[in-house]
């Protein structure tokens, strides 16, 4: 049901952008930053966060001075870490994500704060588990343990800074909440989450 709802939201976003061509103002940009990632596990596992990279591109469709649709494409590193029986374990997951976000701006002058929220479809590219003890270390391919797709919700805010004609810098803070269980094992649940800090540049077309 959650997957159907998120797909519906994606279709609505695309429909809005398609039907508003006459009003659309378009900009493209690059985004990069960090993801302070973790997971929620059932049965409960006490995990600590793992810092990973975020990098990608955005395509902003301005439907009005206040409202924009922001689809994009980005690479995101997720995971967690914990220690059990004197073994240090680090889980790493690399995702290709397709966000479709709604952006509400508060246009002032050269600085424009905004709020952002919307669904994300993630494709699992790779997953590994690094195990380290005092005497040895090993890396295990764990991709087959997880679903190939993930649905999540991103919400947060940021600020655009006009630095030149049709050129903005931006900084953004967000929280990504995993909605789907990506674990394949029976009676096991793994949902990702992460605090995200990114920045970048946009160019008006």
Lowest mean pLDDT: which of 10-14, 67-71, 161-165, 196-200?
Answer: 10-14
Confidence of residue 45 (pLDDT cuts 50, 70, 90): confident
Beta-carbon contacts of residue 155 (< 8 Å; ≥ 6 apart): 115, 116, 117, 118, 174, 175, 177
Q: What's the whole-number average pLDDT of the chain?
A: 90
Q: Is the pLDDT of residue 107 over 80?
A: no
- The end-to-end CA distance of the chain, in Å, is 38
Per-residue pLDDT tens digits for 50-102? 999 999 999 999 998 899 999 999 999 999 999 998 999 999 999 999 999 99
- Between CA 114 and CA 105 the distance in angstroms is 4
8 band by pLDDT with thresholds 50, 70 and 90: low
Which tens digit of pLDDT belongs to each residue from 124-172?
999 999 999 988 999 999 999 999 999 999 999 999 999 998 999 999 9
Range 2-76+95-120+148-204: architecture per CATH: Beta Barrel (2.40)
Residue 97, beta-bridge partner list: 74, 122
Q: Is the pLDDT of residue 9 over 90?
A: no
pLDDT of residue 21: 46
Q: Check residues 88 and 20 and name the one with the higher pLDDT.
A: 88
pLDDT at 91: 97
Task: Kindly list the domain boundaries of the chain, sorted by start residue.
Answer: 2-76+95-120+148-204
Residue 121 pLDDT > 70, yes or no?
yes
Q: Mapping DSSP to helix (H, G, I), strand (E, B) and coil, where does residue 118 land? A: strand
Whole-model pTM over 0.75: yes
């Amino acid at each position: 049901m959650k997957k159907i709802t998120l797909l519906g939201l994606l279709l609505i976003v695309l429909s809005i952008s398609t039907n508003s061509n006459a009003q659309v103002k378009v900009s493209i940009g690059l985004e990069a930053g960090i993801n302070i990632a973790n997971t929620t596990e059932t049965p409960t596992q006490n995990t600590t966060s793992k810092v990973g990279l975020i990098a990608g591109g955005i395509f902003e469709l301005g439907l009005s001075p206040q409202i924009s649709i922001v689809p994009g494409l980005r690479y995101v590193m997720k995971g967690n870490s914990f220690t059990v029986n004197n073994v240090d374990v680090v889980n790493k997951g690399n995702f290709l994500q397709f966000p479709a976000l709604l952006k509400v701006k508060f246009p002032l002058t050269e600085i424009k704060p905004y709020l952002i929220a919307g669904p994300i479809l993630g494709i699992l590219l790779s997953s590994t588990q690094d195990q380290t003890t005092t005497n040895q270390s090993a890396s295990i391919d764990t991709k087959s343990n997880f679903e190939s797709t993930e649905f999540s919700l991103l919400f947060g805010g940021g600020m655009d800074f006009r630095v030149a004609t049709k050129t903005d810098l931006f900084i953004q803070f967000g929280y990504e909440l995993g909605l789907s269980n990506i674990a394949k094992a029976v009676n096991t649940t793994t949902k990702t989450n992460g605090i995200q800090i990114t920045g970048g540049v946009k160019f008006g077309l």
